[in-house]
Amino acid sequence: MTSSDLTARVDAVRRFNRFYTRQIGLLRDGMVDTRFSLTEARVLYELAQAPDTTASAVAAALGLDHGYLSRILGRFAEDDLIRRKPSADDARQTRLALSAKGRAAFRTLDRRSDRLVADLLGAMPEPRQRQLVDAMRLIERSLAPEKAAPQVVLRLHRAGDMGWVVSRHAVNYAKEHGWGAAFEALVADIVAQFLRDFDPARERCWIAETDGAPVGSIFLVNGGDEVAKLRLLLVEPQARGFGVGGLLVDEFLRFAREARYRRVTLWTQSILTAARALYERSGFTLVRQERHCSFGHDLIGETWERDL
């Protein structure tokens, strides 16, 4: 990287910082038309999330100087926003909690902040909203220090998930493999049939989430003759490498056994090397291959099976 490249990137980051702070009103006297500064609002937020905490914990969470935080807490105490009590475990520590007045102040801040962001998002079309949120997640991941794998939560499908499944399959496979509208139509047909014929005793769709956002999917569909079909396994690029796919397949197999299926089967393509490796690790065996032309490409379809 040349010095001119670095200078241009520094200018771009600083320009974005100036733009964003102006957009969300950080330069005003108070956050979202309240009397609280940005730092005071963040302290209120930390106290609301941990109703029995210490000044040391708050300072560590926010990276604040202890003296600066002490002055903020002093003002909060004068305004009856917090309650202080000695720690039962360590007499040197004081436990902090919001008072009823403090909780009311936080709720006002929280509601107005939600409204501000909702107004910003509402001014743009839904695809642009998704792009914006994805970009923000990329910034967060890029600037955050290396950390442990994100916590993954698996849940059953709910209203709106099928649209996400179709959209993310279409976007990811178009970007990574060049598959076009025919593939998107196939995925849409699969999820539509799943919803029309859904048998909750014998079928499932699981959605994997991290930080409340969907990052993966897998479907178990009744194939008849005591055979369960694995369909629409997907892991978003930002969630790969953390074992999300393995968790989804393990949950699929657990339910297949519980539902007393005798065998599981799936159809994939030879170019999907990561998925094939996952299936092999999960005990599946390649039983058949066939050449075909689909989604605008010459492919080798593969059938994998596993007995339960």
Question: pLDDT tens across 15-30, in order?
Answer: 888 888 777 776 666 7
Go through the chain and tell me how many residues it has: 308
Q: How far apart are CA 127 and CA 4, in angstroms?
A: 34
Q: Can you give the pLDDT at residue 277? A: 92
Amino acid letter for position 48: A
Other CB atoms within 10 A of residue 297 CB:
15
Residue 102 confidence (pLDDT):
86
**CATH architecture group of domain 3-123:** Orthogonal Bundle (1.10)
Q: Tokens in use for 259?
A: 């539902």
Do strands 227-235 and 263-269 pair parallel, antiparallel, or not at all (unpaired)? parallel
d(CA 297, CA 286): 22
Contact 87, 93 (CB under 8 A): yes
CA-closest candidate to residue 155, choices 215, 238, 202: 215
Quick check: do 3-123 and 153-307 share a fold? no
Question: Does 307 or 57 have the greater pLDDT score?
Answer: 307
Two tokens, residue 134: 């994805």
Comparing CA positions, the residue from 276, 164, 259, 281 lying closest to residue 204 is 259
* Distance from chain centroid for Cα 92: 39
DSSP state of 65: -
Query: What is the token pair recorded at 8?
Result: 């241009």
Domain assignments of the chain as residue spans, ordered by start: 3-123, 153-307
Report how far residue 104's alpha carbon sits from residue 174's, in angstroms, rounded to the nearest whole number. 48
What's the pLDDT score for residue 146? 63
Burial (CB count within 10 angstroms: exposed 0-12, middle 13-18, buried 19+), residue 189: exposed
Question: Would you state the structure tokens that stand for residue 199, as one six-digit string?
Answer: 């048998």
Q: Which of 170, 172, 173 is nearest to 187 (CA)?
A: 170
- pLDDT mean over 89-96: 70
CATH superfamily placement of domain 153-307? Gcn5-related N-acetyltransferase (GNAT) (3.40.630.30)
Farthest-apart Cα atoms in the chain, separation: 76
* C-alpha to C-alpha distance for 41 and 34, rounded to whole angstroms: 9
Instruction: Return the residue matching tokens 């990574």.
Output: 176
| pLDDT of residue 227 exceeding 90 | yes
d(CA 308, CA 263): 5
Q: Are 250 and 238 in contact (CB under 8 A)?
A: no
Per DSSP, what are the bridge partners of residue 155?
Answer: 207
- Per-residue pLDDT tens digits for 95-151: 888 899 989 988 988 888 888 888 888 888 888 888 888 788 778 777 776 656 678
What pLDDT is stored for residue 92 in this prediction? 65
pLDDT recorded at residue 161: 95
In angstroms, what CA-CA distances link 102 with 78, 99, 105, 146, 171? 12, 5, 5, 34, 45
* pTM of structure: 0.56
